[in-house]
Structure 1
Amino acid sequence: MNNAVIVNAKRTAIGKKNGMYSQLTPSELVSPLLTFLSEGIKEEVEDVILGNVVGPGGNVARLAALEAGLPLSVPGFTIDRQCSAGLEAIRIACYLVQAGAGACYLAGGVESTSTSPYSERARFSPDKIGDPDMGEAAENVAKKYNITKIMQDKYTLLSYQRSWNAFKSGYYAQEIVGVGSYNQDEELFHQRNMKKLLERATPCFLKNGTVTAANSCGIHDGASVAFIMVEKKAMHLGFQPVLRFVDSQVSGVHPFYPGIAPVPAIQTLLQRNQLTIEDIDLFEINEAFASKIVSCAQELSISYEQLNVNGGALTIGHPYGASGAILVTRLFYEVQRRIDVNYVIAAIGSGGGVGLAILFEVVR
């Protein structure tokens, strides 16, 4: 099989719903990333695969590819696996490269909640099972795994501090391609005193619950894309591969507990590759709710020192279809700042109880 490698990855700054990107459609939001990543090698791109959840329908990836000035021969492929969609797009591209179906793919995700035509979410589960909203499901996870509000707030504050440190260190600037004049995450600058916000916040999904607006992510717009190639072709074209795809796993859990869905996916992935948690140097797991992250870390015995080291969605936001690709973009840059990393995992849970995890090897 061919080795699939990631040679570049970028994201937009993340905007609040009805905020700085309020007038941009999904294709308009993601096309600057496609243009940037394909600069000078547009003719090499064989397809664009994008995750999108609450968009306008149609083939967003094809529309974005055309807006980005890619050749008419690039078809475009749009998928929806709820919040896992962006990570699934990268996963599919990696398998296509491995199988020899193509050599160069742009894959990731985009979400414009601001321009979504839908006033209500799609169903996650049938009535005979139950279809809780994500906030209620986060409460279910907290209750089942004994995750207190104190534990959730403590993690949220850690994520907030890490996000600010990453921003001030210039790490976020490395990840971001500006869209128009927007090149900084909008939510980050509206949370100047997270400690007070956490102390004052009250449960917002269940009367006696533990999940609050402060220890949950908001609703956001954004995009992220990775450039995936056959390793030999990447070297031939003068690219330095950074992450090599090793394996992936998708798992399902009860729709009442989607936040815990990354756990069986990660466990199966490690078992199949004869690895342990200690063998994984960095994890990026989407921070939709603090209850989710704390429960996943607890069940898998992941140290916070390995997990979301530059903050995450609790601070900067969760643009559904893009979030999984943002995790990979984070890893792409963080492994280049370190000399002691070999394996990393990106994982995410989705509405309906779906967990997806990808294992990458760092290329040296």
Structure 2
Amino acid sequence: MTDDYRTPVVVAARRTFVGTAGKGHRGLLVDELAAPVLVAALDDARRAGTTAPVDDVVLGNCTGPGGNVARVAALRAGLGDRVPGMVVDRQCGSGLAAILTASHAVRSGAVDLVLAGGAESASTAPERWHRPGQAPGRANADAQPFARAPFAPEGSPDPEMGAAADVLAAARGISRDRQDAYALASHRKALAAHAAGRFDRETVTLGTVVRDERARVLDPALLARLRPAFGGTVTAATASPVSDGAAAVAVVPESSRHGAPGLRVLDGVVVGCDPALPGWGPVPAVQHLLARTGRSLDEVAVVEIVEAFAAQVLAVTDALGLDTAGRDSGRVCPDGGALALGHPWGASGAIAVTRLFSRLVRGGAPAGTLGLATAAIGGGSGIAVLLEVVR
């Protein structure tokens, strides 16, 4: 499969710095966040030798204004009238699902260059309304605001993600101390990456935001005093912040990469799980993906998991046999994850692939090195994608 001339390859990857909602990116609409990274990813792909016209733009997005924000972003990016656009909503897995969707299209032979990723502007997301006593979406004069659309039908478990992380922590025996320690490590990794310039080549600077706004020095004593945010063990420090940001990659077939280094998309899966424990989704997704590809997690050099909550990450990594406080601390989110960088929901999966591209391709990893990106999805699902360095 890996020698197939239609095998999809990521040949460029860019992201914005992530802004905390209401702060640095607060004045930018979702398409205004997405357009610059589309331009940057395409420019990088052109420099790498890609000559094919852009066939499509596929973007993950969860809380946008409606309509086709991918098409709007494509037009804003100056890609021309002929480039259509499609929006994918798999909640926190949306950006990763968009890249997987683009990869399927490339593998099929239908397209030769797709820009894919995700964007989220929580700061400018419209408020949603429904009539009291009726299902969300049936708005009228008596309508009231609601925080989010349902992830499951009435009568099924549909917990808020923070509360679900608390339940998962209790079910899997994830202590408050371990959660605090993981959050501290994520911030320390991110700060070290910023200081070393490891984010410089992957980022596009918008306005005055010149670093990921969330990453900071944390005081362990202060973390220990924080009150639970949802009634259990999760706190504001061990939950990812609501954020604004975007990321995009360029996907081409093997035959069109012209020797440019990149990440070959070996395979990807999306699977469902108990909606009461949505954070568990990466476990069956990764297990199914590895079984299908005949690979072992021991073969994977870097694992990027969307850090929605420290408790959720630890429950998943424990189940997969990863020791995040010991031997595997340098390969699970090695430059920090969403806890430290921020979590723009529709973009975070694409940011994970951008991080893999920087760490493995820009970082000089040899051909054949494997990277894994995975995320939990609200409503009870998980997504995982396996990628391989090509040179």
Give the TM-score range, shorter chain: over 0.9
The one-letter code of the counterpart of 1:160 is: H
- Looking at structure 1, the residues matched to 109 and 219 of structure 2 have their Cα atoms a distance apart, in angstroms, of 48
The answer for the alignment partner of 2:359 in structure 1 is 334
1:67 matched to 2:92? The reply is no
- Looking at structure 2, the residues matched to 36 and 7 of structure 1 have their Cα atoms a distance apart, in angstroms, of 12
Unaligned runs of 5+ in 1: none
The one-letter code of the counterpart of 2:67 is: G
1:289/1:314 contact within 8 Å kept: yes
- Looking at structure 2, the residues matched to 234 and 86 of structure 1 have their Cα atoms a distance apart, in angstroms, of 22
Cα displacement (A) at 1:232: 1.5
Tell me which of 161, 167, 179 is aligned to 2:188.
Answer: 161
The answer for the alignment partner of 2:253 in structure 1 is 230
Question: Following superposition of structure 1 onto structure 2, how do residues 1-364 of structure 1 map, counting pairs within 5 Å?
Answer: 1=4, 2-39=6-43, 44-118=53-127, 120-188=147-215, 191-206=216-231, 209-235=232-258, 240-302=260-322, 303-336=328-361, 337-339=363-365, 342-364=369-391
Cα deviation per residue 1:212-266 (whole Å; 9 max; x = unaligned)? 111111100000000111122121xxx6131001011111111111111001000
1:43/1:71 contact within 8 Å kept: no
The one-letter code of the counterpart of 1:52 is: N
The one-letter code of the counterpart of 1:228 is: V
The one-letter code of the counterpart of 1:14 is: V
Q: What SS does the aligned partner of 2:165 have?
A: helix
Cα displacement (A) at 1:361: 1.1
Cα displacement (A) at 1:170: 0.4
Give me the TM-score of the superposition, normalised by structure 1.
Answer: 0.95
2:188/2:217 contact within 8 Å kept: no
The answer for the alignment partner of 2:141 in structure 1 is none
Cα displacement (A) at 1:177: 0.7
Cα displacement (A) at 1:111: 0.1
The one-letter code of the counterpart of 2:173 is: N
Cα deviation per residue 1:186-230 (whole Å; 9 max; x = unaligned)? 122xx3334243122111101xx1111111111000000001111
Unaligned runs of 5+ in 2: 129-146, 323-327
- Looking at structure 2, the residues matched to 352 and 283 of structure 1 have their Cα atoms a distance apart, in angstroms, of 23
Cα displacement (A) at 1:338: 4.5
Decide which moves more: 171-180 or 9-18. 171-180
Cα deviation per residue 1:16-66 (whole Å; 9 max; x = unaligned)? 111111111100111111122223678711100001100000000000000
The one-letter code of the counterpart of 1:315 is: A
- Looking at structure 2, the residues matched to 292 and 82 of structure 1 have their Cα atoms a distance apart, in angstroms, of 16
1:248/1:358 contact within 8 Å kept: yes
Cα deviation per residue 1:253-293 (whole Å; 9 max; x = unaligned)? 11111111001000011111111111111100000100111
1:169–1:278 CA distance, 2 compared to 1 (3 A): same
Cα deviation per residue 1:121-143 (whole Å; 9 max; x = unaligned)? 11111231221100000011101
Q: What SS does the aligned partner of 1:101 have?
A: coil
Cα displacement (A) at 1:145: 0.6
Give 1 or 2: higher helix fraction: 1
2:161/2:378 contact within 8 Å kept: yes
The one-letter code of the counterpart of 1:18 is: G
Instruction: Supply the RMSD in Å over aligned alpha carbons.
Output: 1.5
- Looking at structure 1, the residues matched to 375 and 205 of structure 2 have their Cα atoms a distance apart, in angstroms, of 25
The one-letter code of the counterpart of 2:279 is: G
Q: What SS does the aligned partner of 1:361 have?
A: strand
1:160/1:194 contact within 8 Å kept: no
Cα deviation per residue 1:279-316 (whole Å; 9 max; x = unaligned)? 11110000010011111110001233321111011011
Q: What SS does the aligned partner of 2:31 have?
A: helix
Matched residues, percent identical?
Answer: 41
State the 4+ residue runs in structure 1 displaced beyond 4 angstroms: 40-43
The answer for the alignment partner of 2:131 in structure 1 is none
Cα deviation per residue 1:137-191 (whole Å; 9 max; x = unaligned)? 0011101111010111111111111111111010122221111343311122xx3
Cα deviation per residue 1:298-343 (whole Å; 9 max; x = unaligned)? 0001233321111011011000000000000000010132436611
